[in-house]
Amino acid sequence: MSESFRCGYVALVGRPNVGKSTLLNGLLGQKISITSHRPQTTRHRILGINTRDAAQIIYVDTPGLHKGNRKALNRAINRTAADTLHAVDVVAFIVEGTRWSDEDRWVLELLKDVKVPVILVVNKVDVLEDKATLLPHIQMLATLYEFADIVPLSALQRDNLDRFEACVVQHLPEQAQIYPEDQITDRSERFLAAERVREKLFRKLGQEVPYGLTVEIEQFKQEGNLRTIHALIWVERDSHKAMVIGKGGSRLKEVGAEARIELEKLFDGKVFLQLWVKVKEGWADDERALRSLGYGDDQ
């Protein structure tokens, strides 16, 4: 290990749907955080640990910061993301191409109280129709805050990630690594299983339903190379239960099949996955229910 070894925590923050989870997965070279086109897919703080010869970078994927806290779930998600800002060594503020919204501006205001270096990450540059607009946009953003660095990249295409990581490392403190070299996340297999099921549901369902559902693992048992997982899908309405199940149980079967295949790759073993759907009206606006489901207790 190098004498000047660097190690520290890096928060990935921004409004919903700017590509934070895709960026984390790209940096690690494997899928840790779930992704979908729907905003607020990420609901929990998740560590992704990347150990190099001269550095250990501990990325903290956070839920999208968003204005408006109509439900207790929204408030819990915002608290999780905001609290992270004051417990890291570097902040990566992620924005989407040349888009700059009121919500981006709101997140930037939160960052003005941060005491650590902030790197501006301009993501999704690969999908810009007019590349000539990028430089003037970056120049405009540079006037809004004294960023430690500004890095345009494409998380999806994994373009320019090396430059971003090099910028991060130079701002980390010199100290010994915190986690073992082979550890890539702080999350349990139980948590990862619940997230994979929720991801498949988000990708299969319409606009309204995903925000009123969550997944709870009732049983997770490993015997040899077989993991038996019983997952309970909570929804807020009977009509949502019908949508999740689908005609003749077709949608639930699709979700289960796709999640099982992905979990078998993740765990490198056989998975027996059973899914149930139950209605719990108002769970997303019930502080006690949220705590019992693991919201707000991120370490």
**Residue 108: both structure tokens together:** 């930037």
**Residue 212: both structure tokens together:** 């009123």
Are 120 and 216 in the same domain? no
**Phi, psi (degrees; rounded to nearest 5) at 186:** -95, -5
- E-strand ranges in the chain read 6-13, 46-51, 55-61, 90-96, 118-123, 149-152, 213-223, 226-235, 270-279
Distance CA 124, CA 135 (A): 14
Are 92 and 220 in the same domain? no
**CB-based contact 40:66 (threshold 8 Å):** yes
Share of the chain above pLDDT 70, in %: 84
- pLDDT exceeds cutoff 80 at 260: yes
Domain that holds residue 29: 6-170
**CB-based contact 94:13 (threshold 8 Å):** yes
Mean pLDDT of the chain: 88
Are 83 and 195 in the same domain? no
Are 121 and 228 in the same domain? no
The number of domains in the chain is 2
Q: 64: closest CA among 86, 95, 90? A: 95
Q: Whole-model pTM above 0.75? A: yes
What is the three-class DSSP state of 2?
coil
Q: In 101-205, which ranges are continuous DSSP H helix?
A: 102-111, 134-142, 161-170, 189-204
Virtual torsion, Cα 281, 282, 286, 289, nearest 10 deg: 30
CATH label of the domain that carries residue 68: 3.40.50.300
What is the maximal distance between C-alpha atoms in the chain? 62
CATH label of the domain that carries residue 260: 3.30.300.20
Helical axes 250-267 vs 189-204, angle rounded to 10°: 140
Are 25 and 133 in the same domain? yes
Are 26 and 158 in the same domain? yes
- Look at residue 240 and tell me if it is in a domain: yes
- pLDDT exceeds cutoff 60 at 162: yes
**Residue 243: both structure tokens together:** 């949508």
Q: What is the mean pLDDT of residues 84-103?
A: 92
Q: What is the mean pLDDT of residues 28-56?
A: 82
Q: What is the pLDDT of residue 267?
A: 94
Amino acid at 159: D
- Look at residue 100 and tell me if it is in a domain: yes
- pLDDT class for 1, splitting at 50, 70, 90? very low
**Phi, psi (degrees; rounded to nearest 5) at 221:** -130, 135
| Number of other residues whose CB lies within 10 A of the CB of residue 17 | 19
pLDDT tens digits for range 277-288: 999 887 777 677
